[in-house]
Structure 1
């Protein structure tokens, strides 16, 4: 099939955007069905965390490796493999009846998602070379990705109501076929001729470090954070991280070239990428439980409320692109993270007010606006901060930073939520601290409506145990909101200081491989 260059570009953009839509849906349409999975598969709270974390850990495991493979063997080829694998693993997720198999399938799905995601950015950077056209392409990418994330909760809830939870996964089989066709017609093959070898040592050490870090957070409360097993896990994480740094510094073709951190635009934007995943994205996994159980919303009201959190991401990216061209990303990215932090702060204030909905929803909107200003701005800034032939490496570093921080913070927010619930049960309701208290708190955190039936003795001294459980959940979420706000503000400050807008003359790096990318940004209209 022969197509004109403009049509080919349109098909390529459509393929990239549709694959981004699948990734967005797969992140935000799953949380609304977690409570159903918990009931159908008898899954524990920690298993539900792993249903989400396995996906992000898997993406982190091979992201940088995929960037190198895409540079070496061709971005279109790796993108195609990712599309096919994502469709197949989505079918496995939808057909299983075991929580353990679902977690494994989600891990494999995350591997294929990494192939698609890393190539999305590299394909856009290669196929849209003109600064203005590239900006528009990335804006569309951000809008469609935001649409998947924004409408994912409603789509997940609608699928659950009209069909069954399995179709939240099975629908991607159909979307993968369409995406595959568009990619074969539109995407141009590109590669880096200097990508000659795969950094096996870097892949292994980074994978072990991330897995052990998340395992420490999720299993630490059960094992005891000072137990030999837990200390062994975190010790292995530290050793593996040190090994990763050594491997990258000694490799002839490392997954990440540490010299790029001397480029202010790269490092400042990378902190912006991480800031989103210390606050906005992990919180969306738990937010449906807050709306449904904490505020008493039904499934429709919960879906509509989640739109307040994610819908702004549809409309803000084009504005963010224009603001970046006018004021530079060193201003826009810290501003976006600060607005995100204000949103979490407003949600926290609303959570303790008599009518929380009046402040919770505006807080959600503010957080969404902050993310919209930050998301595509960080990606575009990172990819143009290095030479074009190293776009795979740059996008790999960007997405790895996102996924590592997301996987870590899914676990951390879950830990903080449970600890907040336990603190309320102990200190306010005077529930005795026992071995069953944590499991009881985890069931509350998971939105398990049967928790009172299964544990009637724990709250037998409470006149209204149902209201007490609701208050405990809201209190726990208050802790999480404070964490989200503090993280966003701290990383906004770190990003601002790293960019140092007043030192733009010093932005350059002595690494000649980065000058071309910096010139691309500086010459963008």
Structure 2
């Protein structure tokens, strides 16, 4: 007999493990910058090495779990994640840590789509599934809360290695629960992996991410950057061509002709683009500009974390009643408004009266977008192909997160670096100025030693933050307009659009 509450608890814990990994590492970035002498680009790769492997492989992993069994795939993914976390805890250089973060991303790609496909096959009635997805989505908010707070506590008493050791028992507990409670399910009819599509997609995403992260160093108009974007675009077109030509594509690109599907995927991508970019920047703002400790920083993430968790549950309950459009569109608008508001803050902004409302607005927006949009994606495919739908959903989340860190981080690095070099000209030597522009951590340490530099470093940071947040805010507002036009409206019954009568 399937014990649904225990199944749901298990997959939510597995999803929480993945979300913890993202957030707990972000809180450690300033410490890593100091102890590993990691510049901004190295920090970007520590975050995006994980995201990149996750996004690139999640479609293939979802197909494998469908074909060979979701329960063993979940257990294998969690055990591999625990092992790679142990190895990351033993790393002693930024290069080693980046490589091991890639390995962690590979196993995360096996875990995450499996959790969603297990939900789809266990909870087959729409309202029941929507509630389950709401709890699953709330694990994002819980991860946003536990990751920074737990990471802050660990960093207050131990070295940065402890944040990776902490992931090990959680992964092993989830693996044990999966072995005990999750029933086996599979779809033997799932075809073999589309190797050509997989290779082209990995190359396209890898080159695009590399180009964006390295652009501040090469220059946005440099031959390397332009060539990178051209090659990435050509590979994307090649991927579409390959997927339309093969008998069993990794991604059925014709699914994106369904406006419910494509608009929902875009909404999820934008939501996690915004979330990951925000976390990357605000962590460093709290610790470098405001001089908060890791624990103080973690505690200050609670408003956005609680808001995401609560709004995910509310959004999951409202979407079947009001329609996806009526929930997702305001969510994206709230996200856009929050980022435009954040772009106006100064170094001395008050946390309680300004940053907390901004975080609540952002968290509610993300929660209202992520769960209803995920539910809309899952509605398009039957439960037997849940792995495909969940993998596409997870790919859009990780694609958004990967590009969010890369784009926001690179925009910030470019504007921060230019501004700081201008501020330091004539005050320090050229080599020191260039090194400070490459690393916020080094600039912060320099400002502590040289009187009068702290305001210059803070001004450069705020300038980079403002430009990045303005770009993200405008993107969210464009997404809100697209959601208003494309997502389904209120429904009369399960799967029926009340406005058009279409299923």
CA contact under 8 A between 1:25 and 1:148: conserved in structure 2? yes
Counterpart among 464, 478, 484 of residue 476 in structure 1: 464
SS at match of 1:43: coil
Instruction: Note if 1:497 corresponds to 2:492.
Output: no
Aligned to 1:412: 407
Instruction: Note if 1:443 corresponds to 2:439.
Output: yes
CA contact under 8 A between 1:19 and 1:116: conserved in structure 2? yes
CA contact under 8 A between 1:342 and 1:485: conserved in structure 2? yes
Instruction: Note if 1:19 corresponds to 2:11.
Output: no
CA distance in 2, matches of 1:314, 1:24: 12
Aligned to 1:514: none
CA contact under 8 A between 1:265 and 1:330: conserved in structure 2? no
Aligned to 1:244: 239
Counterpart among 246, 249, 258 of residue 254 in structure 1: 249
SS at match of 1:185: helix
Aligned to 1:488: 476
Aligned to 1:190: 185
CA distance in 1, matches of 2:349, 2:381: 51
CA contact under 8 A between 1:146 and 1:311: conserved in structure 2? yes
Aligned to 2:28: 33
CA distance in 1, matches of 2:206, 2:432: 27
1:142-187 per-residue CA deviation (whole Å, 9 max, x = no partner) reads: 2223211222111111011123321211122211221111111221
CA distance in 1, matches of 2:382, 2:105: 28
CA distance in 2, matches of 1:464, 1:92: 42
CA distance in 2, matches of 1:218, 1:229: 12
Within 5 Å, give how 1:14-413 maps onto structure 2: 14-351=9-346, 355=350, 358-413=353-408
SS at match of 1:189: coil
Displacement, 1:85? 0.7
1:343 to 1:119, Cα distance in 2 relative to 1, 3 A:
same
Instruction: Note if 1:466 corresponds to 2:448.
Output: no
Displacement, 1:258? 1.8
What residue ranges of structure 2 are gaps of 5+ in the alignment?
Answer: none
- How many residues align? The count is 499
CA distance in 2, matches of 1:79, 1:440: 43
CA distance in 1, matches of 2:497, 2:483: 21
What residue ranges of structure 1 are gaps of 5+ in the alignment?
Answer: 457-462, 506-516
CA contact under 8 A between 1:351 and 1:360: conserved in structure 2? no
SS at match of 1:351: coil
CA distance in 1, matches of 2:398, 2:391: 10
SS at match of 2:166: helix
Displacement, 1:326? 1.9
1:439-467 per-residue CA deviation (whole Å, 9 max, x = no partner) reads: 422322x475323479x6xxxxxx72112
1:7-37 per-residue CA deviation (whole Å, 9 max, x = no partner) reads: 3x23221220111111111111111211222
SS at match of 2:344: helix
CA distance in 2, matches of 1:175, 1:354: 36
CA distance in 2, matches of 1:431, 1:219: 27
CA distance in 2, matches of 1:447, 1:328: 49
Displacement, 1:238? 2.2
TM-score by length of 2: 0.92
Displacement, 1:248? 0.6
Cα RMSD, aligned residues only: 2.7
CA contact under 8 A between 1:10 and 1:186: conserved in structure 2? no
SS at match of 1:492: helix
CA distance in 2, matches of 1:220, 1:321: 39
CA distance in 1, matches of 2:224, 2:293: 42
1:500 to 1:447, Cα distance in 2 relative to 1, 3 A:
farther
1:389-414 per-residue CA deviation (whole Å, 9 max, x = no partner) reads: 22211222221122122212211111
1:231 to 1:361, Cα distance in 2 relative to 1, 3 A:
same
CA distance in 2, matches of 1:73, 1:35: 41
1:344 to 1:230, Cα distance in 2 relative to 1, 3 A:
closer
Displacement, 1:364? 1.1
